Amino acid sequence: MGLNEFLEDLHSIDRQRLHLERCVALLQWDQETYLPEKGVDERAEQLAILEGISHERLASPETGRLLSELGSTAEDPTGNEKLPSLERDFLKTFRKKYDRAVRLPARFVSEAARAEGLSQAAWVRARQDNDFSAFLPHLVKMIDFSRQKAMYWGYKDNPYDGLLDIYESGMGEKEVSAVFTPLGEKLKELLKKITSRSRPDNSFLEAEFDIENQACFNRDLLTRLGFDTCRGRMDLSAHPFTTTLGSNDVRITTRYLKRQVQSGIFSTIHEAGHAFYDMGFPEELRGSCLADGASMGIHESQSRLWENVIGRSRPFWEAMFPALRTYFPVALSSHTAEDFYQAINLVEPSLIRIEADEVTYSLHIVLRFELEKELFSGVLDPANLPAAWRGMMKKFLGMEPETDAQGVLQDVHWSMGSFGYFPSYALGNLYSLQFWEKLKSDIPMADEQIRAGNFSSIHAWLKDTIYIWGHRQDPRDLLMTVTGKSLSSEPFLDYVESKYAGNFS
Amino acid sequence: MGLNEFLEDLHSIDRQRLHLERCVALLQWDQETYLPEKGVDERAEQLAILEGISHERLASPETGRLLSELGSTAEDPTGNEKLPSLERDFLKTFRKKYDRAVRLPARFVSEAARAEGLSQAAWVRARQDNDFSAFLPHLVKMIDFSRQKAMYWGYKDNPYDGLLDIYESGMGEKEVSAVFTPLGEKLKELLKKITSRSRPDNSFLEAEFDIENQACFNRDLLTRLGFDTCRGRMDLSAHPFTTTLGSNDVRITTRYLKRQVQSGIFSTIHEAGHAFYDMGFPEELRGSCLADGASMGIHESQSRLWENVIGRSRPFWEAMFPALRTYFPVALSSHTAEDFYQAINLVEPSLIRIEADEVTYSLHIVLRFELEKELFSGVLDPANLPAAWRGMMKKFLGMEPETDAQGVLQDVHWSMGSFGYFPSYALGNLYSLQFWEKLKSDIPMADEQIRAGNFSSIHAWLKDTIYIWGHRQDPRDLLMTVTGKSLSSEPFLDYVESKYAGNFS
């Protein structure tokens, strides 16, 4: 057998694994949208079986043999130099998945999965009861399992680097700190400036907005954004998400709140941004591990670009507000696109991350990043986390939660052992503006096109410039390829400063 | 290892296989309800992968080893005599699945699957173009593959017995003929009597019935029938069906036609009947191959019992008509429950099986059974099937189709190689009345309860008497266990005669 045959066999394993993961994704999608209440237990069993088979396929001795026949090793994953660059990128990405899968002992995986299940359930109760101490032993365990995971997988300088690497391949604590620390300081200053000004009136958004009409408007909006319903769909779920069940089957969910019409709208746009990315990988990558986003943060940059940079812009609502008003003539008759624009862009410190605006959102993330660093360096005892949380809130947002439920217990991530995940959100914000800066220089008329409700050249640019790479490049390389620059918070800071403090600068 | 350990391992294989089949069922359900148009090709790949894995699990050498350790052979499948009867029933049923799976060579399975795909596509085109000759070569292949399948599996007297056995285990051609031949004659006579009378007016059912209101009424109806939406759900699809994704996740679909309100209603009731069966297996059978209907025909008896015997009865519409009228006050204001009862029970010969009434339906089946027998005995050349079809239509229904599209090409079954399937439908009709006769003798007040919209003792009876057996017994044994009698068309004939020709007898 020659290289081509080995490659073909490896692609076939990858394709099977991918399809099995998509079956898993369908089971999960169904669980969040349509599964009857009492079907949950058996669904969990079905998921465990499929995930087990998918893992078996990936981590089989046959996979290892093919990788080594192709010259791919853990140290030098890209394999034989005779292979074309696309295949070497494939080997690099696939090898990483393989190494991740085989390095964790089966016993560890099942113990960790069990502990995560218990921890998440304990977190739900602890948040309800506002009882951090009940969650603490689970949190300690999750930190320990995460540290062990990092050990098994290997890391650059410290275990937290190994965790960051799961979500942002190639990004370490030092690199993120170098950007996040000044970002935090500058956003704090900006926030002070903004809150010293008069607050725009957003009370009209608290009127009653009929759910049926919200659903109709959001469907219209999705179509006008350019979402192809022959290749995807939108449903309802408690927590909006995007999932890929096939190259031509990318699904998003949203949710409607009667007294917060903007909640559904921005969920829809955010998830559509994720979906455009997953729908846009080039034909040649489909059915392989390269048909994926470059990282969590790059994926988030796509959702945020649509949700915030485009979706919270003045031109966007000049285009969309008339349609919104036809669905809600009573609530909106005496309001203009400009009123709506001001109202949806209200900036003020708040306790809850997922309700935060564009300026304070990244502060919530920097805070979590600081705490994660301290937890993993051992400086911070998990038992002292609530106090440390309040201190950080005071420092970054100038306010403190009255309860742990509104503080350290608000997010699910740590209860699942997902340490290192939070930074991706703020990195997504930064990436999105680095990309947008480049897009604007390539498409100087972008704002005018948005004002005309025309997104076709933006879609084409994203597809040809970002989506085209799929998972072939790490976020750092992709950033360099697309923008010619490395990670920087400057474009993001310029954007929020000119948008929110224009009068002061 | 002792018997108990072997048994435990075999149950674990069975449970995995069952869960994988339910994953397959979810993928198929999604394909019929929510899958975006362009997702179909990749879905087919995903289905093939899961079906392959499910087959691997079932037909593994490990399965064979465990079966033989437990004393189960093809000739004596129930295994070691020391085992409790439940486990021996399990072995019998599981062994049959295993034998079916291992006796077909892998190459034959994939060739047959490919040919079926092509045949079904050819049938769709042939029906559109009314061109039987274009379908003929595929039909010939399907007959040949079915005959080979019967050879691999083995059969009693002739290959057609082997095909009948797939759907009605233990039922052979002779046994079915002995019942169907006189049934056909008697129904023909009855039909003559009925059509000589004046035809009830059902034109008011052709008014416009708003789809949204139909959806609301059908949801109400489903709840009033006793369908537990914590353990199942109802969606829309082009062709209504029931599918089981878990003991607590049984899903039905229905469809609404604007000018045929009864179509959606009887689809809903029919599928609910199937669902009640699948929801009602006892705890001890769940997660095993015994948590299944006794046969296709027994399953059909449950859907028909609800759709026809209960759902097309006078007491039922005395209970439900007032609600229906509140949803459609304009179309139904001048009509009574009795008008509706008469209209939905119109009997007249027609060309299309799925549109047939209670009396002519079984004639459509007897006709197909006669043709299948002739095709497999070699008496009928497939090329002469259209002429034979017209002859049979003339004989049984006194009318002939003008086109093959409305004749021999109307059903999908033969194009998929599903010979031997049709008889199950008419057997379902017969079984349902045999069961109903027994139910009425155990619950003399059944009609009064239906009139009060109270189905609880009917549900309890079905559960304790029929569902409780799951797949433990073959249809013949189940019939004997439940009714003390063997297969008979008498209760069915008594029922249709008294319902439709009461005035004549």
Which of B23, B39, B230 is closest, CB to CB, to A245? B39
For B323-336, write each residue's pLDDT tens digit.
Answer: 999 999 999 999 99
d(CA A267, CA A308): 11
Which of B19, B42, B231 is closest, CB to CB, to A249? B42
Amino acid at B40: V
User: Could you say which of A87, A116, A271, A370 is catalytic?
Assistant: A271
Q: Which residues pair with B235 in a beta bridge?
A: B253
A-interface mutation test, from B16, B245, B281, most A Cβ less than 10 A away: B245
Beta sheet of B249-254, edge-to-edge order = B232-236, B249-254, B242-246
Looking at the complex, report in whole angstroms how far the Cα of residue B459 sits from the nearest Cα belonging to chain A: 20
Sign, CA dihedral A131-A418-A396-A268, equals negative
Which of B37, B42, B49 is closest, CB to CB, to A247? B42
Q: Which helix (H) or strand (E) holds B428?
A: helix B422-442
Torsion of CA A397, A403, A406, A410, to 10 degrees: 120
Report pLDDT for A502.
72
Whether the predicted pLDDT of B223 surpasses 70: yes
Nearest CA-CA partner of B338 in B318, B319, B324, B359: B318
A-interface mutation test, from B11, B16, B20, B23, most A Cβ less than 10 A away: B23
Pull the structure tokens for residue B115. 């040919």
Q: Do residue B49 and residue A16 have CB atoms under 8 angstroms apart?
A: yes
Question: Distance of alpha carbon A358 from its chain centroid, rounded?
Answer: 15
Beta sheet of A242-246, edge-to-edge order = A232-236, A249-254, A242-246
Instruction: Give Cα separations from A500 to A196, A434, B110, B321 (angstroms).
Output: 12, 18, 64, 62
pLDDT tier at B450 (50, 70, 90 boundaries)? very high
Q: What is the chain A residue with the closest CA to B29?
A: A30
For A388-444, write each residue's pLDDT tens digit.
Answer: 999 999 999 999 999 999 999 999 999 999 999 999 999 999 999 999 999 999 999
**A248 contacts on B by Cβ (under 8 Å):** 36, 38-39, 41-42
Q: What is the chain A residue with the closest CA to B26?
A: A27
Report pLDDT for B200.
87
d(CA B61, CA B191): 55
**Mean pLDDT, rounded, for A290-307:** 98
Rg of chain B (C-alpha set): 23
Rama region for B417: left / alpha / beta (φ>0; ψ in -120 to 50; rest): left
Torsion of CA B332, B333, B336, B341, to 10 degrees: 0
Angle at A73 between CA A84 and CA A80, to 5 degrees: 25
Backbone angles phi, psi at A411, to 5 degrees: -105, 150
Q: What is the chain B residue with the closest CA to A45?
A: B19
Which of A22, A229, A230 is closest, CB to CB, to B46? A22
Report pLDDT for A505.
38
Whether the predicted pLDDT of A356 surpasses 90: yes
Looking at the complex, report in whole angstroms how far the Cα of residue A14 sits from the nearest Cα belonging to chain B: 13
**Contact by Cβ (8 Å): A135, A126:** yes
Q: What is the chain A residue with the closest CA to B17?
A: A49
d(CA B15, CA A45): 10
**A18 contacts on B by Cβ (under 8 Å):** none
d(CA A185, CA A293): 30
Q: Do residue B38 and residue A231 have CB atoms under 8 angstroms apart?
A: yes
Quick one: chain B helix, strand, coil %, rounded to 5?
Answer: 70, 5, 30
Q: What is the chain A residue with the closest CA to B50?
A: A20
d(CA A492, CA A265): 23
Query: How many CB pairs (< 8 A) connect A and B?
Result: 96
Q: Do residue A36 and residue B247 have CB atoms under 8 angstroms apart?
A: no
Q: What is the chain B residue with the closest CA to A16?
A: B49
pLDDT tier at B377 (50, 70, 90 boundaries)? very high
**B53 contacts on A by Cβ (under 8 Å):** 53
Q: Which residues pair with A475 in a beta bridge?
A: none
Looking at the complex, report in whole angstroms how far the Cα of residue A232 sits from the nearest Cα belonging to chain B: 5
Whether the predicted pLDDT of A503 surpasses 70: no
Pull the structure tokens for residue A120. 């998440």
Percent of chain A's residues with pLDDT above 70: 99
**Contact by Cβ (8 Å): A390, A407:** yes
Percent of chain B's residues with pLDDT above 90: 96
Which of A19, A27, A232 is closest, CB to CB, to B45? A19
Q: Do residue B26 and residue A26 have CB atoms under 8 angstroms apart?
A: yes
Looking at the complex, report in whole angstroms how far the Cα of residue B233 sits from the nearest Cα belonging to chain A: 7
Which of A27, A36, A235 is closest, CB to CB, to B233? A36
Whether the predicted pLDDT of A377 surpasses 70: yes
**A249 contacts on B by Cβ (under 8 Å):** 35-36, 38-39, 42-43
Report pLDDT for B504.
41
Report pLDDT for A501.
81
**Contact by Cβ (8 Å): B439, B461:** yes
**Mean pLDDT, rounded, for B102-109:** 92
- DSSP notation for A128-191: HHT-HHHHHHHHHHHHHHHHHHHHHH--SSSHHHHHHHHHSTT--HHHHHHHHHHHHHHHHHHH
d(CA B440, CA B63): 44
Residues of B annotated as part of the active site: 271
B-interface mutation test, from A235, A248, A250, A253, most B Cβ less than 10 A away: A248
Long-range contacts of B94-98, Cβ-Cβ distance < 8 Å, separation of 24 or more: B94/B10, B94/B14, B94/B67, B94/B289, B95/B67, B96/B169, B97/B58, B97/B289, B98/B58, B98/B59, B98/B63, B98/B64, B98/B67
Helix (H, G, I), strand (E, B) or coil at A242: strand
pLDDT tier at B1 (50, 70, 90 boundaries)? confident
Q: Do residue B27 and residue A26 have CB atoms under 8 angstroms apart?
A: yes
DSSP state of B400: -
Amino acid at B331: A
pLDDT tier at A1 (50, 70, 90 boundaries)? confident
d(CA A165, CA A176): 11
Report pLDDT for A200.
87
For A37-78, write each residue's pLDDT tens digit.
Answer: 999 999 999 999 999 999 999 999 999 999 999 999 999 999
Q: Do residue B49 and residue A20 have CB atoms under 8 angstroms apart?
A: yes
Q: Which residues contact B61 (CB under 8 A, 6 or more apart)?
A: none
Report pLDDT for A504.
41
For B394-405, write each residue's pLDDT tens digit.
Answer: 999 999 999 999
Looking at the complex, report in whole angstroms how far the Cα of residue B197 sits from the nearest Cα belonging to chain A: 48
Q: What is the chain A residue with the closest CA to B24?
A: A23
Residues on B contacting A at a C-beta cutoff of 8 Å: 16, 19-20, 22-23, 26-27, 30, 34-39, 41-43, 45-46, 49-50, 53, 229-233, 235, 245-249, 251
Mean pLDDT for chain B overall: 96
Q: Do residue A39 and residue B229 have CB atoms under 8 angstroms apart?
A: no
Whether the predicted pLDDT of A125 surpasses 60: yes
Percent of chain B's residues with pLDDT above 70: 99
Report pLDDT for B118.
93
Nearest CA-CA partner of A318 in A340, A333, A345: A340
Tell the burial category of B334 from Cβ atoms under 10 Å away from its Cβ (0-12, 13-18, 19+). Answer: exposed
Which of A46, A229, A230 is closest, CB to CB, to B19? A46
Long-range contacts of B12-18, Cβ-Cβ distance < 8 Å, separation of 24 or more: B13/B57, B13/B58, B13/B60, B13/B62, B13/B63, B13/B66, B14/B90, B14/B94, B14/B288, B14/B289, B15/B287, B15/B288, B16/A49, B16/B57, B17/B54, B17/B57, B17/B58, B17/B289, B18/B287, B18/B288, B18/B289, B18/B291
Q: Which residues contact B436 (CB under 8 A, 6 or more apart)?
A: B305, B309, B491, B495
d(CA A270, CA A273): 5
For A6-17, write each residue's pLDDT tens digit.
Answer: 999 999 999 999
d(CA B468, CA A119): 39
**Contact by Cβ (8 Å): B256, B327:** no
Report pLDDT for B502.
72
Looking at the complex, report in whole angstroms how far the Cα of residue B36 sits from the nearest Cα belonging to chain A: 5
For A82-103, write each residue's pLDDT tens digit.
Answer: 999 999 999 999 999 999 999 9
Looking at the complex, report in whole angstroms how far the Cα of residue A447 sits from the nearest Cα belonging to chain B: 32
B-interface mutation test, from A16, A17, A49, A50, most B Cβ less than 10 A away: A49
pLDDT tier at B82 (50, 70, 90 boundaries)? very high
Mean pLDDT for chain A overall: 96
pLDDT tier at A197 (50, 70, 90 boundaries)? confident
Q: Do residue B36 and residue A232 have CB atoms under 8 angstroms apart?
A: yes
Pull the structure tokens for residue B367. 């006709």
Q: Do residue B41 and residue A248 have CB atoms under 8 angstroms apart?
A: yes
Query: Which is it for strands A242-246 and A249-254: parallel, antiparallel or unpaired?
Result: antiparallel
Q: What is the chain A residue with the closest CA to B249?
A: A39
**Mean pLDDT, rounded, for B302-307:** 98
pLDDT tier at A35 (50, 70, 90 boundaries)? very high
**Contact by Cβ (8 Å): B445, B191:** no
Pull the structure tokens for residue A422. 């939070």
**Contact by Cβ (8 Å): A260, A205:** yes
**A36 contacts on B by Cβ (under 8 Å):** 229-233, 248-249, 251
Tell the burial category of B111 from Cβ atoms under 10 Å away from its Cβ (0-12, 13-18, 19+). Answer: middle
Report pLDDT for B304.
98
Q: What is the chain B residue with the closest CA to A49?
A: B16
CB atoms within 10 A of CB B381: 11
